[in-house]
Amino acid sequence: MSSTPVLNDDQWSKLLEYVAETYNEVTLSRGFHFYKQQMVTSLLITTEHKKVNAVVEEFGEKCRVEIDLNQLKASSCTCPVKTACKHVAAALMELADRQGYPASQIMNAKMALKRVAAQSSSVSSLEQLPGMTVDGWHKFMEHYTYHLKPSYDQWNYVELLRGQFSNLKRTAISFSETDLFYFDLHQRLFILRKIVEQNAQAGVTFYTAATIYHLSDELDDWLKEPVSVTLDADQHKERLTQTFTYIRAQMAIESPKKLHHFRVFSTLWAFKAPENEGLLAAEVAAFEAMEAAELSLSLIAGRAFLYLRQSMSDEAWSTITSHASFKDAPSLLFTPFLAYLEYVQKWQEIVHWLRRLSSFYSGKRHHDIESYAAYWKVAIAHVPDADDLMWESLVELLPASYRIIEAFYYEQRKWKSWIEMQIAQGYDPFTHRVNVLQPIEKESPELLLPYYHQAIEHYIRLKNRHDYKSAVRLLKRLEKVYKKLKQPERWEAFFTQFVSRFSRLRALQEELKKGKLLE
């Protein structure tokens, strides 16, 4: 075997073209099997004349193959087929492997040629990218990634797309800093659209849904980060206008249950759009030019968000609630509105929106109600007078809001209401860590009395030694509470009556002595 390479990239491309034109998939598949099973037992290369002689053994029979790399169509085999047979294909794959080229590309020659062509055309397109519109960028990205096929593991597909785009960084592209920012944004938008399209075609499972939400969260966080470069005002406005046009097109076909592009739209307007009345007016006009009856929920929400940005809160609310899908929309629909009001610190407005939204959150998941309650918490920190409105809203959401109300009572140190909720649920002091009750014991120890008394009675009724021990532990904590209240006489009166009432419970009396409550 010669160690001198007889194939270069140009000759490799010609070999692939020959295979793609000459062989069918069945023959290539059989040849690949022979190659993988090491049935090519001999391969000799004549470097000077670029000729290859090989022996392929099949069931003990030797087939001799001759390949002329200068005239591939003249290649021959001693088998009955004589040319373009599985033996020649196996020999070509063995040759490729020894020359450092992937034999699998011969097996998939047509696909390999398309990939080479795409990479070649992509390289020539790189120089044109700075002058392209946003639509041009997306056409380029479609062509640049066409060979990457979606799989059930959507996150793997996302990583493949990201890896392909990372190859672009190896080539110097004459982007301005502004275009570089927007090209990065549109790579992210392209990946988001690809996953949305895959979900629409293949149906959504919990596994696949997680990918789209993770992507959406990543993009939202990225848009909220400060831009590390200075954006040219004119370029920024032009690219932003093109970007909004692209996003509106995606919003027009967006499912009312999956509002990911609306989320991008609102975050982009809140965190990246300059204070430019002309830009805002043009965008509002673009929405108003559409027939309202034909608009998707996503587009209706987009129009409403722009009204909100113009400080037209009532118009925003009436616009969004006018859509037929409003009541069945996911909570993701309202998060951008609440987030924007928080961002611009319009606290009275956020209270107004939260109060009107309480009925919408009825029946929603606990996670959604938690997010809703978190906005209430922020709002009343700035508008204390809205506290009653918050409680009205949370009560309307019972029983789903039970845990949230309980947590709010504790955070606001409304100890009486918090303890009443514990008693109503049949909890006792052992339900909590000691440090949970410590602030109550310090600030309002008298509120703990019914909590301890009820729990003690409960453990006594169970009538077994283990529970008697628990009752004794609670009695000792109760004694400390009475001492803290400086009411030892009340403790003595209670305890004397307690011992008398349960004097026949010998095991309890023994535990009281062990606990040093009785001599």
227 in the same domain as 185: yes
The per-residue DSSP string of 319-377 comes to HHHTSTTGGG--GGGTHHHHHHHHHTT-HHHHHHHHHHHTTTTTT--HHHHHHHHHHHH
Confidence of residue 2 (pLDDT cuts 50, 70, 90): very low
pLDDT tens, residue by residue, 395-414: 999 988 999 999 999 999 99
pLDDT given at position 205: 59
pLDDT given at position 127: 80
Sign of CA dihedral 421, 427, 432, 436: positive
Percentage of residues in the chain having pLDDT higher than 70: 95
Q: Give how far Cα 39 sits from Cα of 48, 74, 186, Å.
A: 26, 22, 49
Nearby residues of 47 by Cβ (< 8 Å), 6 or more positions away = 2, 4, 6
229 in the same domain as 131: yes
* Residue 403 in domain: no
181 in the same domain as 70: no
**Looking at 74, 92, 114, which one is the last position of a domain?**
114
Q: Averaged over 344-351, what is the pLDDT? A: 95
Structure tokens at 366: 């606990």
* Residue 420 in domain: no
* Residue 50 in domain: yes
253 in the same domain as 224: yes
Residue 155's Cα: distance from chain center in Å? 10
**Looking at 285, 309, 344, which one is the last position of a domain?**
344
101 in the same domain as 173: no
pLDDT given at position 353: 96
Q: Are 106 and 93 in contact (CB under 8 A)?
A: yes
Q: Averaged over 315-334, what is the pLDDT? A: 88
Angle formed by the axes of helices 177-202 and 154-166, to 10°?
150
Q: Which residue has the tokens 């030892």?
A: 488
Residue 3 has pLDDT above 70, yes or no: no
Answer with the residue of higher pLDDT: 264 or 256. Answer: 264
256 in the same domain as 214: yes
193 in the same domain as 286: yes
Structure tokens at 98: 């020894």
190 in the same domain as 67: no
* Residue 401 in domain: no
pLDDT tens, residue by residue, 263-305: 999 999 999 888 888 888 888 888 888 766 578 899 999 999 9
Answer with the residue of higher pLDDT: 13 or 437. Answer: 437
Number of domains the chain is built from: 3
Domain assignment of residue 54, given as a range: 9-114
pLDDT tens, residue by residue, 117-145: 555 555 557 888 888 999 999 999 988 88
Answer with the residue of higher pLDDT: 414 or 151. Answer: 414
Distance CA 163, CA 170 (A): 12
Lowest-pLDDT choice from 88-102, 198-212, 281-295, 378-392 = 198-212
**Looking at 92, 114, 136, which one is the last position of a domain?**
114
Phi then psi for residue 65, to 5 deg, are -115, 135
| Residue 180: half-sphere exposure toward Cβ, Cα within 13 Å | 13
Sign of CA dihedral 264, 266, 271, 274: positive
Q: Averaged over 457-482, what is the pLDDT? A: 94
Distance CA 65, CA 391 (A): 87
Q: Give buried/exposed letters for 273-284 (b at 16+ CB in 10 A, else e).
A: beeeeebbeebb
pLDDT given at position 204: 54
257 in the same domain as 282: yes
* Residue 484 in domain: yes
282 in the same domain as 159: yes
* Residue 390 in domain: no
pLDDT tens, residue by residue, 187-243: 999 999 999 988 877 655 555 668 888 999 999 999 999 988 898 989 999 999 999
Q: Averaged over 362-384, what is the pLDDT? A: 91
Confidence of residue 468 (pLDDT cuts 50, 70, 90): very high
Distance CA 162, CA 140 (A): 15
Residue 320's Cα: distance from chain center in Å? 25
102 in the same domain as 139: no
* Residue 395 in domain: no
* Residue 83 in domain: yes
52 in the same domain as 81: yes
Structure tokens at 84: 């373009």
